[in-house]
Structure 1
């Protein structure tokens, strides 16, 4: 994709409120890191009370994925998850706007040798990330240590899309549109690294239904296809916000062995098993407010209540 370009249209009065919000966020982001964590937790508590639709979705996901957990324990996890989601807004600002040296001090990276080995072997890498609330921080921190591109889904608001792309491309070599298959394969075959997350519900058309936490979930087949057609390794990548303001631990895990196979179903199941493993290690920081199980197999009932 071409670099984002500022347009005079962004000065239209319809965007003034967004400009005000972005400016306020930039100012707040200059505060010390531990203050931002405290403010984020407060914002999350407010969201828990006011964002009832998202709260119900997250609660339903936790109920589906952790049915053995006591109701009180799930409720505590839900509140902690909203606290993590509140922090996300300030992490986004830090990842986009903090000076590189200030941001770099917050992260430690383990497993870079897996990327270096793939580079030495002349292989491209699908850096398989997940939609944790710390996603922007993980990409920003790793992007300063590793040349890589990111898969990208345009935002509906053109001004926010411009700001988001510009912020991400401060740390990345560039971004690739989610539907730009040709561009993705070209980068992989040239030995590039592409940051990519396959763990959301994109509908039945490009997916197979395989279990995720024991629930049939529409799972994109693209991970195996990209790996096969791009002659690339799939290397999982996670990040975790550490307690007490200690920063972030980024882990580049060993490549998935014997992947892809000749079976798309086996590949999709392998991806979901990895998702489960990573989410169980840090459930409070996962993006539970996404309707991960909204697409159902034919004949199966909906798992979320209809929007009013």
Structure 2
């Protein structure tokens, strides 16, 4: 429902569930770590059982991207994805409601020299992230080492949008609406680092078709466009939860050379190759729940 249809007063009964959710996020953020992980895992297991539509989308994505896996292995990966994303909810609560300094002992940051070299150019840095379940935790941990702005999607619910914005502005210098190209370009031209995740389907008009896990995927052209307009260094960033479920690894790769090339398809394929590389490290932590392949090449049937 559009924002204009929400009541103006946050005391309205329509917001009571939102207030309850915000309170629950504050509560879970302060749970002991092992209990927090157990709660997240339980949320994921429950969602795997009851959220059939998202389970179907996840299973479809995984079947398309991992045809070499057996049916049983793909089924396990679907369940593991829900568990990881359930844990991602409590990680988001922790990132939003706790001081990032309290998490420093959980972070290992590899490739800091790559990020530092990109920043030392004196121009903007376009940080290429990925929609992992650890996204907000990754942002909080990254803020302990390097400051950045972030491109994001505003929430429709005004109360939750306010909570999310206030929480994320504790982590990032500034938030930029994903449709605000001019805002992102201004920040990059001013020498800021901007965290941007170009791995979702924004429709035919904004995209070219490029390979992603062997599939032709609608891949956004904006990454190359922003780099071309600003001469920003483009630095791929990988981040994931380690198998101990207690620590996290971030890794900044060397800035892409000869990017953009002027060929939108080649540039999109290059970004997709990095995203695929990052996902293959911990595929269960990726947000397979979204319809990555909803836009199909002309004449192809939908997959969902």
Structure 1 length-normalised TM: 0.94
Q: CA deviation at 1:30?
A: 0.9
- CA distance, structure 2, for counterparts of residue 192 and residue 81 of structure 1: 33
Which sections of structure 2, spanning at least 5 residues, go unmatched?
A: 1-6
Aligned length: 298
Give the Cα separation in 2 of the matches to 1:184 and 1:101: 27
Pairwise CA distance, 1:100: 2.9
Query: Residues 26-70 of structure 1, C-alpha deviation per residue, up to 9 Å, x if partnerless?
Result: 112211112111111111110000111000100000000001110
Q: 1:13, CA displacement in angstroms?
A: 1.8
Taking the aligned partners of 2:97 and 2:149, their CA distance within structure 1 comes to 18
Correspondences of 1:73-222 after superposition (within 5 Å): 73-222=73-222
**Distance of 2:28 and 2:187 partners within structure 1:** 37
User: Where does residue 271 of structure 2 map in the other structure?
Assistant: 271
- Residue 8 of structure 1 deviates from its aligned partner by 6.9
Partners of 1:41 and 1:20 in 2: CA distance: 20
The match for 1:244 is: 244
Match of 1:4 in 2: none
Q: Distance in 2 between matches of 1:72 and 1:221?
A: 36
Q: Once structures 1 and 2 are overlaid, which stretch shifts more, 223-232 or 183-192?
A: 183-192
**Alpha-carbon spacing, 1:68–1:245, altered in 2? closer, same or farther (3 Å):** closer
User: Does structure 2 conserve the Cα–Cα contact (< 8 Å) formed by 1:144 and 1:172?
Assistant: no
Give every structure 1 segment of 4 or more consecutive aligned residues whose post-TM-superposition deviation is greater than 3 Å. Answer: none
Contact 1:124 1:230 (C-alpha < 8 Å) held by counterparts: yes
Q: Tell me, yes or no, if structure 1 residue 296 matches structure 2 residue 291.
A: no
Structure 1 residue 233: Cα displacement: 1.0
Q: CA deviation at 1:119?
A: 2.2
SS state at 2:113 partner: helix
**Partner residue in 1 for 2:224:** 224
Given that 1:94 and 1:103 are in contact with CA atoms closer than 8 Å, whether structure 2 keeps it comes out as no
Which residue does 1:61 correspond to in 2?
61
Query: Equivalents in 1 of 2:21, 2:100: separation in Å?
Result: 23
Corresponding residue SS for 1:244: coil
Alignment root-mean-square deviation, CA: 1.3
Which secondary structure does the structure 2 equivalent of 1:10 belong to? coil
Aligned equivalents of 1:117, 1:166: Cα separation in 2: 30
Larger deviation, residues 9-18 vs 293-302: 9-18
Contact 1:29 1:93 in 2 (8 A): yes
| Contact kept? 2:115, 2:254, Cα under 8 Å | no
Counterparts of 1:99 and 1:8, CA distance in 2: 30
Asked if the contact 1:128/1:196 (under 8 Å) is kept, the reply is: yes
Determine if contact 2:25/2:97 at 8 Å carries over to the other structure.
no
Q: TM-score, normalised by structure 2?
A: 0.95
Q: Would you say the 8 A contact 1:44–1:82 is kept in 2? A: yes
Shifted more, 100-109 versus 130-139: the winner is 100-109
- Greater Cα shift, 162-171 or 107-116: 107-116
Q: Deviations over 1:73-96 (max 9, x none)?
A: 111111111110110110011001
